[in-house]
């Protein structure tokens, strides 16, 4: 199963356009999680106490862990995340907090080292940015660190189109070049 995490807010999102091109290249059916449609509960003390109680009891079938179970079961993960204010949309951070669950997406070794429990072999991170200044460590780097360090997903690939809002930019050309080069390259498809 391909799990597609859409953190795009705009109807005509350029990031979503790249994600759609990737999903088409990957083929197969994708399950979409549209973060704009989810009301995340606050990670306050009551939430954390309940989560700790459920994980200690091994009650991972609780509704609280539905997103984590879905994430752990995916064969391939695609995250569409526009670059905003030196990072990604806040909803993606909330989502990552909900799927990072000890006992579902990772577990600790006796030495306290996280060991991945996710089925996915590959995660694609797709981003667009209006400017050319989009340091990877401020968005992609966080997701890559979680994927490799906690979830056990070693193959993490970045697909990005930048400079889209620079005066005079040919947005269509930038997006089409990204699709023809980066999307197809990330899928191992090379067209000449």
pLDDT for 134 equals 62
Name beta bridge partners: 102: 106
Residue 37 in domain: yes
Tokens 């590959």, residue?
122
Residue 191 lies in a domain: no
Q: Is residue 106 part of a domain?
A: yes
Q: Distance (Å, rounded) from C-alpha 140 to C-alpha 143?
A: 5
Owning domain of residue 60: 2-186
Which pair of tokens denotes residue 155? Answer: 């193959």
Domain assignment present for 156: yes
The CATH number of the domain where 142 resides is what? Answer: 3.40.50.360
* pLDDT value of position 131: 86
pLDDT digits (tens, 9 = 90+) for 156-182: 999 999 999 999 999 999 999 999 888
Q: Which residues pair with 68 in a beta bridge?
A: none
Split at pLDDT 50, 70, 90, the class of 143 is very high
Of 174, 123, 189, the closest CA to residue 18 belongs to 174
Q: Could you say which DSSP state residue 149 is in?
A: I
Q: Is the model's pLDDT at 46 over the cut of 90?
A: yes
Whole-angstrom Cα distance, residue 13 to residue 36?
A: 13
Query: 3-state DSSP call for residue 179?
Result: helix
pLDDT of residue 114: 96
Residue 192 lies in a domain: no
């Amino acid at each position: 199963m391909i799990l597609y995490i859409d953190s795009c807010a705009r109807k005509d999102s350029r990031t979503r356009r790249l994600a759609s091109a990737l999903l088409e290249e990957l083929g197969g059916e994708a399950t979409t999680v549209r973060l704009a449609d989810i009301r995340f509960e606050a990670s306050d003390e009551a939430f954390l106490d309940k989560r700790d109680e459920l994980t200690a009891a091994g009650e991972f079938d609780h509704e609280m862990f539905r997103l984590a179970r879905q994430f752990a079961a995916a064969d391939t993960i695609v995250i569409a995340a526009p670059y905003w204010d030196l990072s990604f949309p806040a909803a993606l951070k909330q989502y990552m907090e909900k799927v990072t669950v000890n006992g579902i997406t990772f577990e600790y070794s006796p030495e306290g080292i996280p060991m991945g429990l996710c089925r996915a072999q590959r995660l694609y991170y797709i981003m667009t940015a209006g400017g050319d200044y989009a340091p990877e460590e401020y968005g992609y780097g966080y997701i890559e660190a979680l994927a490799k360090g906690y979830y056990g997903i070693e193959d993490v690939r970045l697909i990005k189109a930048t400079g889209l809002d620079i005066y005079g930019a040919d947005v269509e050309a930038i997006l089409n070049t990204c699709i023809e080069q980066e999307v197809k390259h990330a899928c191992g498809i090379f067209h000449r």
